[in-house]
Structure 1
Amino acid sequence: MRKWIAGVLLVIGALLMMTACSTGEGKEKGELKKVVLDYAYYSPTSLALKEFGWAEEAFKEQGIEVEWILSHGSNKALEFLNSKSVDFGSTAGAAALIAKSNGSPIESVYIYSKPEWTALVTTGDSDNTSVEQLKGKKVAATLGTDPYIFLLRSLQEVGLSSKDLEIVNLQHSDGANALLTGQVEAWAGLDPHMAKVEIDSGANLFLRDHEKNTYGTLNVRSDFAEQHPEAVETVIEVYEKARKWVIENPEEAADILAKEAEMQLEVAQKSLERNDFSDPIPGLMQIKALTAAGEVLQSENVIKGNVDISKIVNEMIVDRYSKAVIE
């Protein structure tokens, strides 16, 4: 009898512990005390949003704090997402695709711009005028970002690959400096750094192709979206407010970019001009562009050969949050 009672007590105790754990998890899941957003010089919308405190206003009503973290490139934004340092990160679409193919649990829920933010750049006095001339030379690029992918796609179009030159992995600003100091002979550039060397040093954007620039995507961690869908919609609502403001106030938006990035106003204006803010809802256009980019990345073994590009892209592009709040 004593053994039977002891057994019953053990079972009851286990059930109580399971109930307590379940209740605790539910409470933890339901409570959101802080939302962490990134901002980036390559995302003017994020800068306007941060400047005016619209996210803070929206979440204050819900008793939620807002924190901001600067991303210096898509690779940094993705590092922050993977480490759960941010809940939302701003990247190029193709960079997010690489991360997704490697198992990063993220979703692209908003398009903050369609930019022409990358090109292949040389100094103004360089003899390099074509992609073919890069063969055997050093070219700076930030691995895993849109400029790097732009370089790979441009090489493939003329029958070359990354093996035909030496890619020097540098953060975007360091790549610009390496070009100007002669450490590399070309640079896969990114605005606003690219606009700066173009204006200040007469750099030559010798290869431009707007359609090879993948979209600027706002990505959220999948676990965060699952637990807090209403917060995702709130973030998109305030991003929409910022996007419309940037369209209506380009001069003021350039002022904010110049101040935040500590750059000349002329540089900020040129960088801003190369952004199209007209279509914020992710969908078919992004799927097509990212599928094309993914195929190139797979041919270069940046994305593993056994990855189903179409499946990954369709899992990553999520439109339901934007459609729920954008008219």
Structure 2
Amino acid sequence: MKNTIKYRTKSKVLVTALTVAVAVLLGACGANDTANNGANGAGKTKDASPSPQTEQTPSKAITVKIGTVPALSPQNVAKDKGFVEEEFAKLGAKAEWTAFQTGPEIFEAIAGNHLDFGQTGNIPVLSAQVNKVPFKQISVSGDGKTNNNIIVPKGSEAKSISDLKGKKIAVAKGSVPYNVLVRAIEVAGLKITDFTIVQVLPAEARPAFEAGQVDAWAIWEPFVSTQVIKNGARVLVSGEDLGLINPNFNVVHSEFAEEHPELVTAYLKALERARIWQEENQEETVQIYVKQMKLDEEVLKAVVAKIKPLNSLITDEIIEAQRNTAAKLHELGVLKELVDPAQAADNRYLEEALKK
């Protein structure tokens, strides 16, 4: 039998609560800037948990469970190149990879003690905090500025979000593009009730958009570039236009981090290796994503050139953006209570990983 990591038994109430959140929040989902290190204070745990050390070796060989989502990120490059396995081998550990479709699924697995590491968007992170999932955010894997957009089909006469008043807009409620849509409507001086919001996942939204059954689609990459390049769609509003930061995060089970800080540091070292490798090998990176996602090479080439890979510290700017998002979603009733994003952030492991 594999010697996998076991945690203390948790209440089933936590998993049930998160499962309900998944039904509501069906979300999607660089240079390592050390300035504005917002999580160094507020993001640290209050107790004196173990300091991340790379020299410490686990007493027993263990299998670390890692969850992936369909994303153009250093995590998936690290998986393909075997960087995580190489770093773990130095500490007598192995990696076991499991594919998930969404961030809420990652957190459901963490809540059930079935997962140690994962990657997710910012809204599932907030939902997980509300539902008291035991996790820490350990680095930013993307800022979401350019890859979340509202698009309209070829031939649409809409020039602004106001032109869509009274029309149908497809979006996955609780996703990052949902946040972009809410903000775009707010900036235009309108209300979400001025539109017909069709809440569907990408698998259902794509054919509806292509068939003209909806008038716009709030969606993330690579779906955006697929529609623009292949079907002549047009970006109506982007997160960048609105000045929004919708970060993605690398997360870890809190108890795993406390018991195996050296493996958290090793994992982030592997992601940093992958980030650097991706920046230096874009053509091969495209081929990795083509293989993993089974998507068009032309589309993925455009997306890879557009999105900068990150494995960066959780700054004050990121935390403030999360606070703003939480406040807006709480106002809309998407989040049942307000949370402090700083309480989930912990930069210590990445700081250790980035030491020369």
Matched, 1:69 2:98: yes
- How far apart in 2 are the matches of 1:143 and 1:32? 41
- How far apart in 1 are the matches of 2:342 and 2:254? 14
Aligned to 2:286: 254
Letter in 1 for 2:326: G
The root-mean-square deviation of aligned C-alpha atoms, in Å, is: 2.2
1:144-188 CA-partner distances (Å, limit 9, x unpaired): 221111112222222334333333232234322321122322111
Aligned to 2:222: 192
Counterparts of residues 101-112 of structure 1 (less than 5 Å)? 101-112=130-141
Query: Is the 1:74–1:145 Cα contact (8 Å) retained in structure 2?
Result: no
Letter in 2 for 1:187: W
Match of 1:212, SS? coil
Query: Is the 1:44–1:272 Cα contact (8 Å) retained in structure 2?
Result: no
Aligned to 2:299: 267
**The one of 112, 115, 120 aligned to 1:83:** 112
Letter in 1 for 2:72: S
**The one of 71, 88, 92 aligned to 2:121:** 92
The answer to which structure, 1 or 2, has the higher relative contact order (CA under 8 A, 6+ apart) is: 2
TM superposition shift of 1:288: 1.8
- How far apart in 1 are the matches of 2:105 and 2:157? 33
TM superposition shift of 1:90: 1.2
- How far apart in 1 are the matches of 2:141 and 2:331? 28
Matched, 1:172 2:202: yes
Matched, 1:162 2:188: no
- How far apart in 2 are the matches of 1:222 and 1:160? 41
- How far apart in 2 are the matches of 1:231 and 1:322? 11
Alignment gaps of 5+ in structure 1: 1-28
1:20-65 CA-partner distances (Å, limit 9, x unpaired): xxxxxxxxx9756211212233233122111111112222343322
Aligned residues: 295
Counterparts of residues 1-327 of structure 1 (less than 5 Å)? 33-115=62-144, 116-210=146-240, 211-277=243-309, 280-304=312-336, 306-307=337-338, 309=339, 312-327=340-355
Letter in 2 for 1:238: A
TM-score between the two structures when normalised by the length of structure 2? 0.76
TM superposition shift of 1:215: 1.5
TM superposition shift of 1:239: 0.5
Letter in 1 for 2:331: S
TM superposition shift of 1:234: 1.1
- How far apart in 1 are the matches of 2:173 and 2:86? 36
1:301-327 CA-partner distances (Å, limit 9, x unpaired): 1123x52x4xx2111221111111113
- How far apart in 2 are the matches of 1:82 and 1:143? 22
Given the superposition, is the C-alpha separation of residues 85 and 173 from structure 1 closer, same or farther in structure 2, using an over 3 Å criterion? farther
- How far apart in 2 are the matches of 1:81 and 1:163? 35
Alignment gaps of 5+ in structure 2: 1-57
Structure with the largest fraction of helix: 1
Aligned to 1:13: none
- How far apart in 2 are the matches of 1:183 and 1:76? 29
TM superposition shift of 1:237: 0.8
TM-score between the two structures when normalised by the length of structure 1? 0.83
- How far apart in 1 are the matches of 2:315 and 2:170? 32
Match of 1:41, SS? coil
Given the superposition, is the C-alpha separation of residues 192 and 97 from structure 1 closer, same or farther in structure 2, using an over 3 Å criterion? same
Letter in 1 for 2:139: Y
Match of 2:213, SS? coil
Identity of aligned residues (%): 25
